[in-house]
Structure 1
Amino acid sequence: MNDQLTGRTALITGGSKGLGLAMATAFAKAGAAVAIVARGIEALSSAEASIKAAAPTARVITIAADVGTVEGCAHAAEAAGAVDILINNAGTSQRGPFLEQTDAFWQSDLDLKLFAAIRLCRAVLPGMRERRWGRIINVLNIGAKAPLATSAPTSVSRAAGMALTKALANEFAPDNVLVNALLVGIIESDQWVRRHANEKRNITWEEWKAEQGKAVPMGRLGRAEEFAATALFLCSEGGGYITGTALNVDGGKSPVV
């Protein structure tokens, strides 16, 4: 374990699986207390055990909440206590033909991906400003910069998250609160495991990964640990002069820098 985040507390939404769990583990190994938020209690318990296996002395706070609601955001912020690092990671890939999407479909996507970030930022920023230290990362995807056909509403809510990132970065930079976005390409996670299963094709997970990797200039899917290492750098003192960025973590897949 290194100590670059010792004394810091990180609140990570969608923290029980995939990228969220990888970030929570990396931050715990770096000395931070981690508060992980998810809706499922069993998944949270499993994640806590996984984090403590990697960082036995780490303090892990598990918070069962739906951050797509006002109440869930309030509960998560209160249960986490004084937050130094906020990772807005909760989200799913809701997309499809535009003319088939209802207002309710749009609203659920915006509640989970945009308003959750707004509400949690509003909850933690006063404390960060008072302590004159804070880090916020909004986890988006490369569709925020280069949306494809039938990619709404997720690409639209993610683009709004990128604008939110820049606005907050400019406003809170004088308080030493740094706000950045990480844009996900194709990275191994539960979401992609589910997509492989839902396709119901007679190919193995490894074969499916190799097939998907052909669309990436680097020729492979990313690993959650690689994504977590990027987030850790932005939250460390080494990333202390980086704010207002939207960084692609995608193996070169995005057509937009």
Structure 2
Amino acid sequence: MLNLDLSGRTALVTGSTGGIGLAIARKLGEAGATVIINGRKQEGVDSALEKLAKAIPGGAFRSVVADVGTAEGCKALFEAESSVDVLVNNAGIFGPNDFFQTTDESWEHLFEVNLFSGVRLSRAYMPGMKERNWGRVLFIASESALNIPVEMVDYGVSKTAMLGLARGLAKLMAGTNVTVNSVLPGPTLSEGVEDMLKAQNPDSTRPVAELAAEFVQKHRPSNILRRMATVDEVANLVVYAASPLASATTGAALRVDGGTVDTI
């Protein structure tokens, strides 16, 4: 019988007030973990805690308001919660853009959020995991790390860098019970993606699911599911990788991309 029990473990999920991050927090809570959620704004964090309390009565959730896209925010988060067993580097930003119109500043901001948040928090939390000889570090990357989208070159490059970071950190933990892995979602119907689809189709009255399927067919024609994944489908793989059952999985890029990356 599969046992994903994370009772007695504390998990931190960055950028977890909505979308994939909130789904991961809920699934970790269902597995028995004490979960620290994180967001940039108090109202977003409060709303997420309310949703989690309704979904899992008696669940153990707490929060820290901090902008992990800054060094100061990462420091504040670590000072508030200095020890975790599971670190899920989920915080990230994205958006379609014209590569030739992007600025150095926009690239720097994207990398601060998508990559350096994980660098800083892993640097802060992993020594404690190594000392206790147990830990799980997970980076929420993307199939875009392997299949760079022309409409979001900067985003794809940040996720490619994330794969390298995760692999290197896994090697640093060689011989320990601390594992480091990346999870690569494909097109996923999160709240952020819904907003992007609506912005791209401002006059459309069609259901979001229909717009999402059209996006997949147009921009990710190799996708085998022919639809976007749900946030829960992504979260399920993350929770497995965080569990005791995944003890021999490290340094891996785990795909939950609906077969979008066309490789065996």
TM-score over 0.5 (shorter chain): yes
**Corresponding residue SS for 1:174:** coil
**Corresponding residue SS for 2:174:** helix
Q: CA deviation at 1:213?
A: 4.6
Amino acid corresponding to residue 247 of structure 1 in structure 2: L
Asked if the contact 1:95/1:153 (under 8 Å) is kept, the reply is no
Alpha-carbon separation, structure 1, partners of 2:52 and 2:12: 14
Which residue number in structure 1 is paired with residue 32 of structure 2? Answer: 31
Q: CA deviation at 1:91?
A: 0.6
Which residue number in structure 1 is paired with residue 214 of structure 2? Answer: 211
**Corresponding residue SS for 2:175:** helix
Alpha-carbon separation, structure 1, partners of 2:15 and 2:83: 19
Matches within 5 A, 1:1-257: 4-199=5-200, 200-202=202-204, 203-214=206-217, 215=221, 216-256=223-263
Asked if the contact 1:128/1:134 (under 8 Å) is kept, the reply is yes
Asked if the contact 2:18/2:191 (under 8 Å) is kept, the reply is yes
Alpha-carbon separation, structure 1, partners of 2:182 and 2:254: 6
Amino acid corresponding to residue 214 of structure 2 in structure 1: E
**Corresponding residue SS for 2:225:** coil
Query: For residues 121-165 of structure 1, what are the alpha-carbon distances to aligned partners after superposition, in whole Å with 9 as ceiling and x for unaligned?
Result: 011011101110000110011111121324321111111110001
**Corresponding residue SS for 1:34:** strand
Amino acid corresponding to residue 87 of structure 1 in structure 2: V
Q: CA deviation at 1:217?
A: 1.2
Unpaired stretches in structure 1, ≥5 consecutive residues:
none
Amino acid corresponding to residue 146 of structure 1 in structure 2: N
Amino acid corresponding to residue 236 of structure 2 in structure 1: A
Asked if the contact 1:22/1:225 (under 8 Å) is kept, the reply is yes
Q: CA deviation at 1:256?
A: 4.1
* TM-score, with structure 2 as normaliser: 0.92
RMSD: 1.6
Deviates more, 1:208-217 or 1:81-90: 208-217
Amino acid corresponding to residue 241 of structure 2 in structure 1: L
Q: CA deviation at 1:204?
A: 2.2
Q: CA deviation at 1:173?
A: 2.8
Query: For residues 203-243 of structure 1, what are the alpha-carbon distances to aligned partners after superposition, in whole Å with 9 as ceiling and x for unaligned?
Result: 22232133235443112211111111100100111111000
Unpaired stretches in structure 2, ≥5 consecutive residues:
none
Say how many residue pairs are matched.
256
Amino acid corresponding to residue 251 of structure 1 in structure 2: G
Alpha-carbon separation, structure 2, partners of 1:8 and 1:19: 20
Alpha-carbon separation, structure 1, partners of 2:50 and 2:166: 32
